[in-house]
Amino acid sequence: MKLGLKLLQERARKGSFWWPYISNLPETYSVPIFFPGEDIKNLQYAPLLYQVNKRCRFLLEFGKILKHELENLKPDDHPFSCQDVDSSALGWAMSAVSSRAFRLYGGKRPDGTRSNVPMMLPLIDMCNHSFDPNAEIVQEEANSDRNMLVKVVAGKEIKQNDPLLLNYGCLSSDLFLLDYGFVIPSNPYDCIELKYDAALLDAASMAAGVSSPSFSSPSPWQQQILSHLNLDGPNSNLKVTLGGGELVEGRLLAALRAVLSNDEEAVKQHDLETLKSLTVEAPLGISTEVLALRTVVALCVIALGHFPTKIMEDESLLKQNVSPTTELALQFIIQKKSLIVDVMRDLSKKVKSLLAK
Ligand SMILES: C[S@@+](CC[C@H](N)C(=O)[O-])C[C@H]1O[C@@H](n2cnc3c(N)ncnc32)[C@H](O)[C@@H]1O
């Protein structure tokens, strides 16, 4: 937000050096904080809705604090040349920065290391994103400590009229939408967030064929493994993911394998890294592995059931003449649901091949 405030300050300052740049920035952004209520609802996916709400609440709160702080300032002391900076102006600035700033190395710290700071880079910020970019940003130190040379360097041959494309990062679809306001079809870095919840896992594993699951009442050795995986205990992190690079997050896979195995000796023969790896095939035996993978498939079914609409309904709506924000919301949820379906398909294939052994 610091850079956003600076942007607002320069936008309000008469004769600002940055005015030509700032006056050419988009007036609106397609990020969800500006979506109409109906399209926020259309986003359906709870972790994204949580982030959108969090950002909106922050902007409202910060707007109030700022108003209070600026209230009694003399015109000469006013950082925004007496212009009103409300939550909508803050939202504009936040979106300008999140969608256009690049994180680069800043000045040197006393210990010689460099801080990582967001910077607005006029002209460079005209480059769109691609996971197959044709250029990259290269930073070079100039002779003085304060100055930094920032260049865009071609990574491959670029023909005349080809767009210059940079890689903004291997980000999930949530971050592309929240920060940049677009959705990449079949984003290989997208994932689904789930909560490691014992009752939910008991239900999922029962659907997978476990008669008396013990996620809600793990034995002490299983609890120890869960706490090593940071899935149990006071500072646990219960957020686990499906999809992305890993298909099933290693911590979830290890927990499923350990709790479904019930064979302390067999589990303790393996280190955590082995238990977390899907490329290590069935370290605790085929039947445990099949139950673990089927439990994930059941989790996927439950996750899909939480979306109020089906992919086919979203796709047919998308074919109609919808607004750009509805289109983005639909693209986003289609992507999320397709990812779950892909995970189910890949895991079911694995189960089939295990059973054929
Ligand atoms: C750094 S700016 C890039 C320049 C921008 N296209 C412009 O005309 O000003 C980032 C914004 O460009 C758009 N953008 C960048 N890459 C995109 C992509 N692959 N697909 C769709 N929109 C993209 C998004 O609106 C994003 O917020």
Q: What is the pLDDT along the chain (357 residues), one digit of tens a residue?
A: 999 999 999 999 999 999 999 999 999 999 999 999 999 999 999 999 999 999 999 999 999 999 999 988 888 899 998 888 999 999 999 999 999 999 988 777 788 788 888 999 999 999 999 999 999 999 887 666 667 789 999 999 999 999 999 999 999 999 999 999 999 999 999 999 999 999 999 999 999 999 888 999 999 999 999 999 999 999 899 999 999 888 999 999 999 999 999 899 999 999 999 999 999 989 999 999 999 999 999 999 999 999 999 999 999 999 999 999 999 999 999 999 999 999 999 999 999 999 997
Asked if residue 8 lies in contact with residue 93, where contact means CB atoms within 8 angstroms, the answer is yes
Residue 100, ligand 1, Cβ within 6 A: yes
Distance CA 249, CA 237 (A): 13
The residue contributing the CA closest to ligand 1 atom 12 is 128
Per-residue pLDDT, 341: 97
Query: Ligand 1, residues 128, 132, 170, 327: which to mutate, most atoms within 8 A of Cβ?
Result: 128
**Complex ipTM more than 0.90, yes or no:** yes
Tell me how many domains the chain contains: 2
Distance CA 121, CA 127 (A): 10
Residues 216 and 237 in one domain: yes
Residues 162 and 237 in one domain: no
Residues 320 and 198 in one domain: yes
Per-residue pLDDT, 212: 87
Range of 287's domain? 191-355
Ligand 1 atom nearest 180 alpha carbon: 27
Residue 350, ligand 1, Cβ within 6 A: no
Residues 147 and 199 in one domain: no
Residue 251, ligand 1, Cβ within 6 A: no
Per-residue pLDDT, 149: 86
* Domain end call among 154, 180, 206: 180
Residues 66 and 154 in one domain: yes
Per-residue pLDDT, 354: 94
Ligand 1 atom nearest 26 alpha carbon: 9
The residue contributing the CA closest to ligand 1 atom 21 is 182
Q: How far is the CA of 126 from the centre of ligand 1 (A)?
A: 7
Residue 126, ligand 1, Cβ within 6 A: yes
Residue written as token pair 């700032």: 22
Residues 58 and 119 in one domain: yes
Residue 28, ligand 1, Cβ within 6 A: no
Distance CA 276, CA 256 (A): 10
Residues 131 and 205 in one domain: no
Residues 106 and 198 in one domain: no
Asked whether residue 34 is assigned to any structural domain, the reply reads: yes
* Domain end call among 133, 152, 180: 180
